Structure 1
Amino acid sequence: METRLLEPMESLISAFVLITFLQTALGAQEFYRQPTHESAVQGSSIVLRCIIKNRDGTVQWTHGGFGLGTERNLPGYDRYTMIGNTNSIDVDGNSIEEYSLKIDNLQLIDDTNYTCQVSPGDSDEGIISNMATVTVLVPPSPPILSGKVTIPVTLEKPTNVTCDALNGKPKAQITWKKDDVRIMENTYELTTTQPDGKRVDTRGIVTITAQPSDAGKKIECGAWNMALKEGEPLWTQATLDVQYAPKLTLTHSNPDRTIREVDEVKFTCSGEANPFQITWRWYRNGELQADVNGYQYTIPRITRDFHGQIIRCEAENSVGTTAVEHSLNILYGPKFKGDPAHVSVDQGERAELVCEAEGNPTAEITWRRQNKYSVLHTGSIYVIPSVREGMFGVYTCTATVLGFHEISRDIYVTENGPPQITSDATQYASIGDRAMIQCLSISSPKPIFVWSRNSQPIDYASSGRFSAPEEGLPFGGKSSLQILDVQEEDFGIYNCTVINTKGSATLMIKLEKSEEVQMAVIIGSAVGGVAVIFIIVIACIIYYKCRHSDNESYAETDSNTEIKKRDKNESPSEMTKSTLMDQWRQDYNYRYSAEFDDVDAKVGNTSGQYVCYDTERYGTMPTNHTNGHLYGEGVDDLGPLNRFENSYSTGYIPSTFRSPSRTDFTSGRVSANELASGRTSVNDFTSGRVSATDFTSGRVSTTDFSGRASADLVEPFRLPTADNTTSKLATNV
């Protein structure tokens, strides 16, 4: 019984020993044949060989590193199949199995790397074949010449003819022929790889210098690569059409005279070409005139800006482009270049005054003292070798061009001195707003501003809210200390120090909190102001008509005219005095607000008072920093400031009364009717056309102003002292 049970077990052991012996004797799994690199034309079929000896694992192909599967029909890959016999045994008794990969209808997607792999078996390790690369060859598309039927070439001028062979893999080689004769010289190729990284576009270029005999000849382009049969390139051909570019002539409507500013000018471009289908383009100084079409270009009103510019006519046909140009010569009057360059020097120093003007013909420059007729110098630069006391003042340069009106501008020569600060000592801001503390300095030469607080310079970088932009002015400069989002601790004293090479000045400026005004008060004041202005306008119109009627009733030769006029007027009321005074104060605040004329000069001191001159309008100059005089020659010397009154030498001078002297108001040469009728204005006092003797000659009494002025304003001609402690005066300078 025991013997029967042991027999099957002995059989199993014997079989196991036999299998182990056979595996050892026959060897491990290995490749009998591995795949190799292959090249084939797109659309054909290829086979990658993979034969395995003593296979123990599972076979799989990879395509670009990705497995295709283990089944022979490779589901999901219709064009891929594993083929070959799996039951062969060689002479040594080794099993031979084939798992070759067949690819039908080869496409560019098949252009990649392949490997044959066998997974590990029960007793063998996995194996991987050599990597095989499949190269898919793609023939180029039929070549395309730059012209389908005819190719235009320029007569006796090198012309490039192109031929494109696209989509080739590898790139196509281009061959040229002219009338069946191979062209070997002046040929080039350019290649561009397509986005798929495999196909290449090839452009062949041949440079032809056409001769008359080349007209009608045949030119051929051939494209070939390895996807085509040897010696059988793809050909295309065209006929040479020898042409020439347009030949042009440019004329304008003023051929016999020079073009003058504001003239209408018509330009005409004419020519010939083969072919004659021409596209016209016009350029002015290189800029395309897109709204101009055709062979004519009209400028209805030419200006000086056109002078020296180039008018270009460009004609293009299928062969090429030709252009002709005309340089414009425009006659025009003088015009100054840049801003006036004022000069500040010390006495005895050299002063160089520059005044440049453009014009065609060239502008001639002459120099005079203001309101003088004698010529000091001719030329754009006037040099005073050593400036003496009487030479400071205003110089006028005049630019003249023959046939045009002359123009003039004033250049100021000022004396250097220590800076002076003319800003208000008290300025205002509101919490949460942006404060603007302004420091205006009269300074020759230009000043340097330094802001400090509590004896420490302000650190703009670390503060984050403080900045101090500066502005250059004709007679000094302005620095504005800006404070963003004003806080309670920002109110207080700020120190503005101004430095130039002649000295320095300091002003302690107090920033105070501005009082808030109720909106109702603002609206009420605005409405009331409009109503008052309306009433005044109506009253002035009625008054003017009445006075005009009265004036007509009097004869100018009547010896009783002035007595009758005085009898017709009553003494000015207190309201009239206040109105005229307010007008003068408003005139001051307007002229010296933040929007002042940048040629005005202001001289003051650290008390916050001003001495102001309208230099642009009246041609005056700021005072000398040491004695309060202006220097000039003859009537150019304006004399000391205290010619008005001692109280005004450092106070406010209303802009309405800058030029006349005080004595002009006591000579009496004007009647109040002239003021009321509009024939004489307050400006007449400033221009010197009216003398104040009219007030004392017996022809005019102070009552003749009828509300326009009071006697207090004529004698002794004073304004009340300005209030520097309120915000009524302009703080923006």
Structure 2
Amino acid sequence: MMHLLSLLFSALLCQASSAEKSIIGLYGGTVEIPCTFEANKIKDVTLTKWKYENVDLLVKSKDKETVILATDEYKDRISLAANLSLLLTGAKLTDQHTFTCQALITTNFGPNIKDFSHALIVHKAPEAPFITEKAAELEIGKLTKLGKCIAKNANPPAKIVWLRNNKALTNEENRTVIMVNQTSGSLDTESTLLYSARKEDTGAQFSCRAEHSLASGLVSPPETFVINYSTEKLVLEVISNSPPVEGNDVTLKCVADGNPRPTSFNFHIKGNVTKVENSDNYTIANISRKDSGEYKCSLIDHPSIEAAKNITVQYLDVKLNLDKTVIRHAGNSLNLSVSIDSSDTATVSWTKGGVKINKEPEIAKLAYSDAGLYELEVTMGPLSRKASFRLTVEGAPVIRKLDDQNDKDGHRKVLICEAEGSPKPAVSWNINGTLIDEKSFDNGTIKHKISVMPSANLSVACTVSNSFGIDTRVITVSSLFEDVKVDKRDSSDDDDKTKLVVGVVIGLLVAALVIGMAYWMYMKKSKQGSWKTGEKENGSSEEEKKLEEKMEENSQKADV
């Protein structure tokens, strides 16, 4: 039945046809190719057929399923819409054909065939452009083919723009020539750039951009080219970690602006020419102040092309008029001078014993405290020089302080003898004691401490001596026991003294009574004797003598 309809369809085909129209689809998308009917006429279509050129794609009878006739790549990509349009998925550039819709219309007036044709055009953005046939090198002033830029598979074809450092190039007489090769019907665009390089093109980046209505930002990877040109200028550089310093190595480098750069040079060193091959530098070892002056380098093949540089060698010399070890007598002067020879102004600083001092140590009258290590530092830029001397001040010892004090417990006396002198004085005492401290000998000063327990008031002498002399000083030290009596006096001592006074008074009264009794007895006997007859006068004298002896004896007992 379908075959008969097809034959009838073919027989009637010549009765009606329509003019060919164009339709645009996007690459990769779904394209709808219309079978142009008025909406109210679709119900009268009894048979629809789609084809391209002479290849049948599909056919559909009214109220029947669509039959796919295509056996090529289209069989899985085509379908029929409700309005009888042909739907083509995944549009490709190879799909650009003329597609025809044939419709059999049956009315009361009989069968009629309509034919609608559409030329499909698929638009596609170009692939990213790239540069090929790149030049190995460019020569200044010579028009040379730099490369060819290709933008492939674009419909319509892309436009190519050449770029230098991302700026568009245009045709410029004797400098830039852009030639575009666009073959009719081709989907690829080619553009060739002829370019006359300049010195400033060294390191420049060249690229090309594809411009298209369906894409933007399509630029090839940048390319750099070797630019060859002759050397026109030299620069002489001085390579050093710091300004050239006496005793260091200094390297001279000759830098040329040519490409390829020269590899051999002449170096002019203090009037002598030294040829250096396969290198652009020359090293002056252990440079000295006499090497200051002008230096040059030049091309071997073109000696007139040269560069010059003045070099000033930095130097710093410091000298003291004193030896490392200086010995002076106390009271004498210290005459110091510093000699500085430098290429620039230098800064001077002094320290004594590691502590900074504000001025140069020039002393008119030396004291023991002036002894110590003096260090000088002179700086000038990166240079630094140091010098030092150790001053020893000698002389006879002198005791500056002699003192005593109680220890913290009050059980001992601490004697302190402090003296100056150099060499270190020996310290001795005229009393036995225990050494509790001896300060280290520093700047001619010594301090000596002993502890003692004096039982009575003492005169203590401290003696210091060295090879230059001797000194002695005496101090009175009070007894610890006397201090204790005074400090520990209490009310019991006062009671004992009161009792002693009362006893003495009573004893004196008893003695007076005895003497009075004795005197009374003596007088009584004297009177009785005078009454006796024949008694001698001298008898009374002996009794008086005995009485005196007795009184003396009693008196002694009373004293006791």
Q: Note whether the superposition's TM-score is higher than 0.5.
A: no
TM-score scaled to structure 1, two decimals?
Answer: 0.25
Between structure 1 and structure 2, the one with the greater Rg is 2
